[in-house]
Structure 1
Amino acid sequence: MDILGKVNKVPGGIMVVPMIITAVVNTFIPAALKIGGPTSGAFSGAGAMATIGMLLFTAGSQTKYSDLGSVCARGGLLVIVRLAVAFTGAWLTLKLFGPEGVWGASALAITIALASCNPGVYAGLMQSYGDTVDKSAMGILNLIAVPATPLVILGVADGTGFDYMSAVSSLVPFALGMVLANADEKVRKLFSTATPVILFFLGCCLGASINLKALSQAGVANIVLIGLIVCIFLPIMIAADKLILRRPGYAAVAATCLGGLSVVAPRIIGERLPQYQPYVESATAQLAVTLVICIFIFPYITKFIVGKFGSGIAPKAEQ
């Protein structure tokens, strides 16, 4: 029974398939993931941050000092473009439509949708299509995968500012892995095959935060959010990747997928910025639906771009 072969036929399957299975379990029998102990630690949201930390360490261990410039260039460009588009989108929405937004999608929901990236999905897709530099760029993308990013974009005042410790906490495991592996090549070799295993468990952890019943709540606001992400934001990201970095664009697609923390961001922002409190509940529901849709469609969009423009790996190894 070739289970792994079938899994690998799905774009980013080593992470996406476990994520879908866990999402189904969380939707219909969520108690199964909450029995505690190692089961909850490995197959629920409780282990997500620890798993991301391991993935960052592993990505760092495969990064040579000579690759740092390329890693910062690729990852840095994607981060800069994301932030620029998110700032522009938030500013235009507030200026033209106010906090209530357009067609039910509030400025809060729109800003989070444009600012929140998904390093986990990115890492899973780069395992299938990316080269070493693409995989290492996850460490850069993780810096903005926090609710503090849309919080800052929406105009944080009174000293709220950017959560610098979130950035530091993301860099530490990546830097530690890089330093150890560059000091001892055997460390790099030890962790060279660890990424697929970690991605499997990361998929399980991320899926445990997804409720597929949210899809039944989809409405016009979700069409607005998906339209902004796929029809406006995504082409800008691909254009930047292809025109500036002269890359095929697959990494830009993977880096555009909505992040899992987007679902908790509205409540955090509402607590810090009271003017957005009336929109917290609706934004949370809209982003939950948008997250599920993005997680399903972005692997296939990435695969399409790879088929059209190529990937970072040898053709015989492509999924």
Structure 2
Amino acid sequence: MPILKTVKKVPGGIMVVPLLIGAIINTFFPEILNIGGFTTALFKTSASAGIGMFLFCNGAQINVREAGSSVAKGTVLTLVKFIIGAGLGLFIGSTFGMAGVFGLTPLAVIASITNSNGGLYAALAGQYGDSTDVGAISILSINDGPFFTMVALGASGLAEIPFISLIASILPIIIGFILGNLDEDLREFLKAGTVITIPFFAFPLGAGLNLFQLASAGVAGIVLGLLCTLVTGIAGYYAMKLMKSKKPAVGAAVGTTAGNAAGTPAALAEIDPNLAAVAPTATVQVAAAIIVTAICCPLLVAYLDKLERKKCAN
């Protein structure tokens, strides 16, 4: 049975198929993943460890002469996310107030669009890009959390960049980078880990999602997810084209919202009580955006990659 070939026919299939299976099981049969032992450890709680291993193996593939490219790409993509998310959210807030428009709150817009799913970006970069694209996660990790949301809402005086968390996110890349440049054989040995680890952390990422959240969020939540994928994804794609990237489709991999963004509205409501009234609505909308972007972003990246390969073939 050609399982792998079938999976690869799906755009971003190595990432998307395990993620969707995990989400479906967690939605309808969550008890299966919580029986404990190796089953829960592998299929429910291993996402962070899997991503860490993936980043370590990819770090080993970055040649020291290419490190500057990773920093440049990460910086540009981070700015794309922040400028679009903050600009759109503040426009909605200043024009329609914190209640938003058509049910879409500015808090939800900023929290979801300025944030990106580092694990999903890394997986897509590993599949459609090169080691310098994966290395960009060292800078993109800065937008992982509520910091940029606080800045955009004028609360930067109350926020501090979590440097320890940032270091913890990029340390596997740094260690892999050092070892890979010290030993070419080690770099080659770790190369397989840049692919084989993807489905093993994609499934537990999906196992943290619940498809019923889409229904409770309504149309506004779905629109928010599509907005995040299309607007920031396409902007990231063109940003990479302007940088003369060999594989610009990877830029669209920032069109996601990370799972931890769902906790941002509540966290900000504790800091600013004026946000308490819209925080519950924003939380559900952000949760919907997480699911929608996890499904749609890989499809967008795969489409743009196919487009680029057609152009190169002509």
Do both proteins adopt the same fold according to a TM-score greater than 0.5, normalized to the shorter chain?
A: yes
For 2:80, the equivalent position in structure 1 comes to 81
For 1:263, the equivalent position in structure 2 comes to 262
Query: What is the CA deviation profile of residues 86-136 of structure 1, one whole-angstrom value per residue up to 9, with x for unaligned ones?
Result: 222232222222222222111210101211111222222223321222222
For 1:197, the equivalent position in structure 2 comes to 196
Q: What SS class does the counterpart of residue 278 from structure 2 fall into?
A: helix
Distance 1:30 1:268 in 2: 27
Distance 1:39 1:142 in 2: 29
**CA spacing shift, 1:161–1:90, aligned 2, 3 Å:** farther
Q: What SS class does the counterpart of residue 105 from structure 1 fall into?
A: coil
Distance 1:188 1:283 in 2: 44
Please say if 1:6 is aligned against 2:6. Answer: yes
Distance 1:215 1:295 in 2: 12
Cα contact 1:264–1:284 (8 A) shared by 2: yes
Between 143-152 and 114-123, report the one with greater CA deviation.
143-152
For 1:243, the equivalent position in structure 2 comes to 242
Cα contact 2:89–2:106 (8 A) shared by 1: yes
Q: What SS class does the counterpart of residue 154 from structure 2 fall into?
A: coil
Distance 1:129 1:52 in 2: 17
Task: Look up the equivalent residue of 1:160 and give its one-letter code.
Answer: A
Query: What is the CA deviation profile of residues 123-163 of structure 1, one whole-angstrom value per residue up to 9, with x for unaligned ones?
Result: 22223321222222233323322233323332325543222
Q: What SS class does the counterpart of residue 8 from structure 1 fall into?
A: helix
Cα contact 1:103–1:220 (8 A) shared by 2: no
Cα contact 1:42–1:204 (8 A) shared by 2: no
Between 213-222 and 197-206, report the one with greater CA deviation.
213-222
Please say if 1:28 is aligned against 2:39. Answer: no
Distance 1:106 1:173 in 2: 36
Distance 2:67 2:210 in 1: 38
**CA spacing shift, 1:153–1:37, aligned 2, 3 Å:** farther
Cα contact 2:232–2:252 (8 A) shared by 1: no
Post-superposition shift, 1:247? 5.2
Between 25-34 and 91-100, report the one with greater CA deviation.
91-100
Post-superposition shift, 1:297? 1.7
For 2:98, the equivalent position in structure 1 comes to 99
Map 1:52-131 onto structure 2 (within 5 A).
52-131=51-130
Q: Give TM-score scaled by structure 1 length.
A: 0.89
Structure 1 gaps of 5+ residues are: none
Task: Look up the equivalent residue of 1:38 and give its one-letter code.
Answer: F
Query: What is the CA deviation profile of residues 244-300 of structure 1, one whole-angstrom value per residue up to 9, with x for unaligned ones?
Result: 445553112111122222222222222233222222221121122222222222222
For 1:133, the equivalent position in structure 2 comes to 132
Between 199-208 and 237-246, report the one with greater CA deviation.
237-246
Runs of 4+ in 1 over 4 A off after TM superposition: none
Cα contact 2:229–2:256 (8 A) shared by 1: no
Cα contact 1:61–1:181 (8 A) shared by 2: yes
Query: What is the CA deviation profile of residues 10-30 of structure 1, one whole-angstrom value per residue up to 9, with x for unaligned ones?
Result: 222222211111111100111
Q: Give TM-score scaled by structure 2 length.
A: 0.90
Map 1:149-188 onto structure 2 (within 5 A).
149-188=148-187
Post-superposition shift, 1:37? 2.5
Task: Look up the equivalent residue of 1:251 and give its one-letter code.
Answer: V
Task: Look up the equivalent residue of 2:132 and give its one-letter code.
Answer: V
Distance 1:157 1:230 in 2: 26
Distance 1:246 1:103 in 2: 38
Identity score, percent:
33
Task: Look up the equivalent residue of 2:9 and give its one-letter code.
Answer: K
Cα contact 1:56–1:139 (8 A) shared by 2: no
Structure 2 gaps of 5+ residues are: none
